[in-house]
Amino acid sequence: MSDRFENTSAGLESPATHIEPITPDDANDLNETTRALHVAGSGFVHVTTVSGSEGTIFMPAGSIFPIRARRVWATGTDATGIVGLS
């Protein structure tokens, strides 16, 4: 399969090239900082961003929220089917 964009640089505005299921964890950062989060089931997602700020956001089912998250906390998170896009 050809990829006409394989020799171009990706920026933060570019589409994600990696998808990783996320299990919320109070003790450990993600393997890779995200560009966005997607949830299958509505709920709150408690995150620490790449800058170190921490907060809780509500995400409706099926939504994509552009956020550079380095941790998704178990405490304060009740959304389900969380996926990191990077």
> DSSP string spanning 58-76?
EE-TT-EE---EEEEESTT
Residue 5 carries which DSSP code?
Answer: T
For the ranges 2-6, 15-19, 33-37, 38-42, the lowest mean pLDDT is seen at 2-6
- Mean pLDDT, the chain, rounded, equals 93
- Supply the pLDDT for residue 10: 73
pLDDT value for 5:
66
The pTM of this model reads: 0.88
Cα 32-36-38 angle, rounded to 5 deg: 110
Q: Domain residues of the chain, as ranges?
A: 26-85
Region 40-62: mean pLDDT is: 98
Question: Between 34 and 11, whose confidence is greater?
Answer: 34
Q: What pLDDT is recorded for position 8?
A: 72
What is the per-residue pLDDT for 32?
Answer: 94
CA distances, 23 to each of 11, 41, 58, 78 (Å): 26, 14, 17, 11
